[in-house]
Each structure stands twice: as structure tokens, then as C-alpha cells.
Amino acid sequence: MGEVGKNFERLIEVMRALRAPGGCDWDRSQNHKTLKPYLIEEAYELLDAIDREDDQAMKEELGDVLLQVIFHAQIASERGAFDINDVVNALTEKLIRRHPHVFEKPGKYSYERWEEIKAKEKKEKKSAIGKVNSALPALSMARRIQENASAVGFDWKDVGGVKEKVREEIEEFLKDPSEDEFGDILFSLVNLSRFMGIDPEKALRKSTEKFVRRFQKMEKLVEDDGRKLSNLSVEEMDRYWEKAKEVE
């Protein structure tokens, strides 16, 4: 067994000890459902580390994501459902099966072939657009669907058509300010972001963080003037907002 194998086995033994009688009360009290929030949280913390290009943080956050995999596998093992070996073997076999262009007959990657293999595995009717993963955040799901459609040729010829579509959707919303029409605006904007090479989820997150940062700076400016935000008029708050932007 190589060093990686020994370290992996040690990790598994540590998790077993934490879950065993006499182990950690918190770890022993967890189940698949109670752990769900932590898996999402750790995944987003990893994304943040990647965005910051922080290798040390990435190393730690990847470990935290791996912990969730080991944790779930240990709980499943205790139920007699499957164990970590089953998880690793299933993943390895799937990677080989879904990459025939690498492990069988050398060739190029084909999105259509990838979807055909997935549909056959799951005994589902194949769709060129792929399976809709409704668990994804809405912006990410929209981008993924658009990428899948583009992979089979259903796409705009250039960004000009996408920009025009955005204008069209905005005009339709102004005539009919409904939830459906607003959703169409967002969907078209995601398409525009794809053509511009912008991650819509990341872009919205950055803008939200910027708003929070400026709002907190505005609060500080108001406090420094000995005033309370709740006592200001909208016009006064707007002036402080502009000052906060200038300071930033």
C-alpha cells in the first residue's frame, strides 16, 4: 500500500473511531439528513478559496469536502447499505465507462456520447439537453442547460443576437411585469454571461458582497456624523451612499 493508500485508510479509521461507542457525541448523533447543510456549506467555502486562488485554503476546504464523503460512507456502512470502498469502486468504474475515447478506442470527447452513456446507465430516455439537475442554484442550472444545448448546436451565432434577446425580454417584462417574464430576463442574461465568459453565480455574489460592504461603510459614515440611519430621509441616505462609494 502506497503513502496515499495508508493516509486514506488512517482517515477512514479516524472516522470509525469518532462514530464508535465512546467516540464523539456530536459525530455519533449525525445522520445523512442532518449533514446536508454542511455539505453545501463546505462546497461553497471551497468555491470561495478557488476564487481567491488561495492554495492553502483550497487544501483545507478540499479536506472538509472529503470529510463529508467519508462521513456519509461511514453512516451508510453502519446501516449495511455500502461503504467507502463501494463509493470509490463505483466512481472508478463510472469514469472508465464514460470515457471510452480514453480507455477503449482513442478519440475526442463527445458530449452527445457522454449523455448517451449516462442515459443507458440510468435506463432513462436520452435527451440531447441532458438531465436537469434541479438541486443546482437557479443561475448555475440555467447556465448548465444552455451549455448542454449549445453542445448539440442549439445556440446563437454570436453575442449580438443574445444582446438583442435581452432587450426583447426586458421590453416584454415592462409590458407584462409577471414572474414568468422576469424569469425570461434572467435566463437571457445568463445566456449573455455565457457568451461573455462571465460566471453569473460568481458575478451576482460579488455584486451582493459589494452592496453589503458599501452599506456597512455608509452606516459607519452616518455614525461618525453622530446620526442614526433610521432617522435619515431617502435623499440623505443616498448622499451617504455616494460618499461610501467614493471612499471605496
Q: What average pLDDT does this structure show over 67-77? A: 97
Domain 138-198 in the same topology as domain 3-97 = yes
Q: Is the pLDDT of residue 240 over 90?
A: yes
pLDDT at 151: 82
Domain layout of the chain by residue ranges: 3-97, 138-198, 201-247
**Alpha carbon of 208 to those of 50, 55, 137, 212, 247: distances in Å?**
19, 25, 16, 6, 18
Its CATH class, for the domain covering 3-97, is mainly alpha
In this prediction the pTM is 0.62
pLDDT, one tens digit per residue, over 86-132 is 999 999 998 998 888 888 877 777 666 766 777 677 776 667 676 77
Percent of the chain with pLDDT over 70: 95
Contact between 176 and 131 (Cβ < 8 Å): no
Residue-level pLDDT at 125 = 65
Give yes or no for a contact between 127 and 133, defined as CB atoms under 8 angstroms apart.
no
Q: What does the alpha-carbon distance between residue 87 and residue 113 come to, in Å, rounded to a whole number?
A: 24
Task: Return d(Cα 151, Cα 114) in angstroms, integer.
Answer: 11
Assigned superfamily of 138-198: MazG-like (1.10.287.1080)
Look at residue 2 in the predicted model and tell me its pLDDT. 84
